């Protein structure tokens, strides 16, 4: 099929379809989102007989994909590392039950973290779940491992986890495009209730079978580290995997100053062959394990007397590894002392909601309507409401609703309980907000539920939601609107309002809060399309914005509204026309009425 420069995630998608997968399911999450996007595009262009879907959440994605796999077909479920927490229940059970067809779980880790709540290491989860895990170091290797993983899964009758990290997912590399394969494999689910519907008794037997299976897997060639650089009699051995190994090879080739070093590359960090690890420890004077983010490989050395790594802080025990950090680690382990370069502090502009984002007006209105309230929020670009003082908590997907209920119960018997607003995005609400809404209603909690509805999953790249439809490649049918869901949950009153109308939104928020005394939870849908949607931008009014002489540079517009298109000078504020989209919302914010909007931009 020729060659092409591919993003790591695109390469994984090619690998999935080259292996003949019949079903791909995912929930968007950076750094994994492009895998499903690419797969859906390839399937549509090539007319492949593969069902691709944006599932409601990661748990559902795994369950849908797993059913296809135990019908003796090939499936992939895709998510980011915190999404694996959501999917952990079916993943743990799938390890015990095994599979008949190939089942690949792609989990993109985010060391750093760059766009996540945690920098958790999926290799640790794989060890916990007793599932083999592959750790690619480049887009090309990720594609190759993906293709091979399906056959490996079928050989050992086990799910397999592919764990690319951010720097692999978002790197680009010229690769040989694989032939996209169509497996003419008919579904063949062999009924076996003692396996597929195992109760606790049979589960014990399945656990013993799983342990035996892992012993077999640990004898596979992937379980043995491979000598990648240097000679097997070197004094110091570096054992590494994934992008950390790529960094080591880069700096070793670029700087010729480390003597008597060899490098072993690990393809499958779990399970590993203990005898191979012990042979490395016995052969070399010193062993350094360089891995992201936890000591997964390091812990599998039975005798660690001469083994260093994250456990003894020879390698930093938190944060992303970089070539500069790897260089310093190699200097330390070889005893080279160099004067460290002084780091110059770089002033960076903090992340902010886009100029013209409808969420900004909603946050401002909520603060004005409930000035001494508690504002629980959630995972999405709207977490940047922090800058506006409109976010007090952000725990995990759906927790805005659960925590609002928790705060109500904490304060309900106090003399003056604070008003509470749960603020959650539309995609996040579909993902994890529905059960806690029902829970809040049946436990008597009282708060305002604000759903920020911008008609997309904005933070991860504009993926569709159940309300917009087109979540699969082969069914463009029914959609589900938020109003339907809220009514079904038991919400009696739902307001729908455009947050660009700040004054109106303030009044509706006050009215909603008043109704909570009788109804418990009252909902507001803050509905305005994401301004990254080009069609939405064409359809909305645009104004020419200016600052009049009434401005005294009080800074209120900057500190309380925080639009990046407004800058504060010594004597006056100014409009940055390169950022301003002319939404006109800031007109209602200025206490001196100094911001003007003229029709036509």
Kindly state the helix (H) or strand (E) to which residue 364 belongs, with its residue range: helix 358-369
CB crowding 288-297: b at 16 or more within 10 Å, else e: bbbbbbbbbb
More reliable by pLDDT, 539 or 525:
525
Least confident of 51-60, 183-192, 364-373, 533-542: 533-542
- pLDDT at residue 452 in the model: 97
pLDDT in tens, 483-498: 999 999 999 999 999 9
Q: What is the mean pLDDT of residues 323-346?
A: 80
Would residue 593 be called left, alpha or beta, if left means φ above 0 and alpha means ψ between -120 and 50 degrees? left
- pLDDT at residue 120 in the model: 93
Q: What is the mean pLDDT of residues 474-478?
A: 85
- pLDDT at residue 345 in the model: 61
pLDDT grade for 115, boundaries at 50, 70 and 90: confident
- pLDDT at residue 343 in the model: 60
Q: What is the mean pLDDT of residues 378-401?
A: 93
pLDDT in tens, 421-440: 999 999 999 999 999 999 99
Q: What is the mean pLDDT of residues 364-376?
A: 96
- pLDDT at residue 256 in the model: 82
Rounded CA gap, 494 and 508, in Å? Answer: 10
Rounded CA gap, 61 and 29, in Å? Answer: 13
Least confident of 15-19, 248-252, 300-304, 532-536: 532-536
Kindly state the helix (H) or strand (E) to which residue 598 belongs, with its residue range: strand 595-599
What is residue 470's three-state secondary structure? Answer: coil
Helix (H), strand (E) counts: the chain: 21, 23
Contact 54, 471 (CB under 8 A): yes
- pLDDT at residue 37 in the model: 96
Question: For residue 349, is pLDDT > 80?
Answer: no
Give the full edge-to-edge strand order of the sheet including 307-308. Answer: 226-229, 261-266, 236-241, 286-290, 307-308
Contact 426, 482 (CB under 8 A): yes
pLDDT grade for 340, boundaries at 50, 70 and 90: low
pLDDT grade for 601, boundaries at 50, 70 and 90: low
Q: What is the mean pLDDT of residues 357-378?
A: 96
Contact 387, 526 (CB under 8 A): no
Question: For residue 123, is pLDDT > 60?
Answer: yes
- pLDDT at residue 192 in the model: 94
Contact 84, 107 (CB under 8 A): yes
- pLDDT at residue 189 in the model: 96
């Amino acid at each position: 099929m020729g060659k092409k420069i591919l993003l790591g995630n695109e390469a994984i998608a090619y690998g999935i379809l080259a292996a003949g997968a019949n079903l791909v399911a995912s929930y968007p999450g950076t750094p994994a989102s492009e895998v499903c996007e690419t797969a859906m595009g390839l399937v549509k262009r090539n007319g492949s007989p593969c069902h691709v879907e944006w599932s409601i959440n990661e748990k559902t994605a795994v369950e849908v994909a797993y059913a296809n796999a135990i019908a003796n077909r090939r499936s992939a479920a895709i998510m980011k590392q915190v999404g694996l927490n959501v999917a952990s229940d079916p993943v743990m059970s799938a390890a015990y039950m095994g599979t008949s067809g190939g089942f690949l779980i792609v989990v993109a880790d985010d060391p750093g973290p760059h766009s996540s709540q945690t920098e958790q290491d999926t290799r640790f989860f794989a060890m916990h779940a007793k599932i083999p895990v592959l750790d690619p170091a480049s887009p090309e290797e990720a594609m190759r491992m993906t293709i091979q993983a399906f056959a490996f899964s079928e050989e050992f009758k086990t799910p397999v986890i592919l764990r690319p990290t951010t720097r692999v997912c978002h790197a680009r590399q010229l690769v040989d495009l694989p032939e996209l394969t169509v497996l003419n494999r008919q579904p063949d689910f062999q009924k076996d209730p003692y396996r597929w519907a195992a109760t606790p008794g049979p589960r014990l037997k399945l656990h013993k079978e799983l342990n035996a299976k892992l012993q077999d897997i640990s004898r596979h060639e992937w379980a043995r580290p491979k000598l990648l650089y240097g000679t097997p009699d070197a004094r110091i051995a570096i054992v590494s995997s994934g992008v950390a190994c790529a960094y080591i090879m880069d700096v070793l080739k670029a700087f010729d100053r480390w003597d008597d070093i060899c490098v072993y590359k690990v393809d499958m960090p779990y399970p590993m062959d203990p005898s191979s690890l012990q042979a490395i420890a016995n052969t070399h004077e010193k062993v350094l394990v360089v891995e992201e983010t936890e000591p997964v490989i390091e812990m599998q050395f039975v005798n660690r007397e001469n083994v260093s790594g994250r456990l003894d802080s020879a390698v930093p025990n938190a944060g992303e590894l970089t070539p500069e950090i790897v260089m310093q680690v190699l200097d330390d382990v070889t005893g080279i002392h160099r004067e460290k370069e002084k780091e110059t502090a770089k002033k960076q502009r903090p992340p902010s909601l886009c100029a013209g984002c409808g969420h900004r007006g909603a946050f401002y209105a909520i603060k004005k309507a409930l000035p001494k309230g508690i504002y629980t929020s959630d995972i999405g670009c709207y977490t940047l409401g922090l800058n506006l003082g409109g976010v007090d908590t952000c725990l995990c997907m759906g927790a805005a609703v659960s925590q609002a209920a928790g705060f109500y119960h904490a304060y309900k018997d106090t003399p003056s309980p604070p008003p509470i607003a749960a603020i959650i995005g539309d995609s996040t609400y579909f993902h994890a907000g529905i059960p806690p809404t029902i829970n809040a209603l049946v436990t008597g909690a009282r708060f305002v539920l604000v759903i920020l509805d911008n008609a997309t999953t904005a933070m991860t790249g504009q993926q569709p939601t159940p309300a917009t439809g087109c979540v699969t490649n082969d069914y463009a049918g029914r959609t589900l609107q938020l109003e339907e869901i809220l009514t079904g949950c038991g919400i009696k009153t739902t307001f729908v309002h455009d947050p660009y109308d700040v004054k109106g939104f303030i009044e509706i928020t006050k009215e909603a809060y008043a109704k909570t005394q009788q109804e418990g939870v009252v909902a507001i849908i803050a509905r305005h399309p994401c301004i990254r949607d080009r069609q939405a931008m064409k359809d909305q009014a645009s104004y020419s914005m200016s600052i009049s002489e009434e401005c005294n540079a009080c800074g209120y517009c900057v500190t309380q509204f925080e639009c990046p298109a407004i800058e504060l000078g010594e004597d006056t504020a100014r409009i940055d026309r390169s950022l301003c989209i002319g939404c006109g919302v800031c007109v209602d914010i200025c206490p001196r009425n100094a911001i003007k909007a003229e029709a036509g931009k």
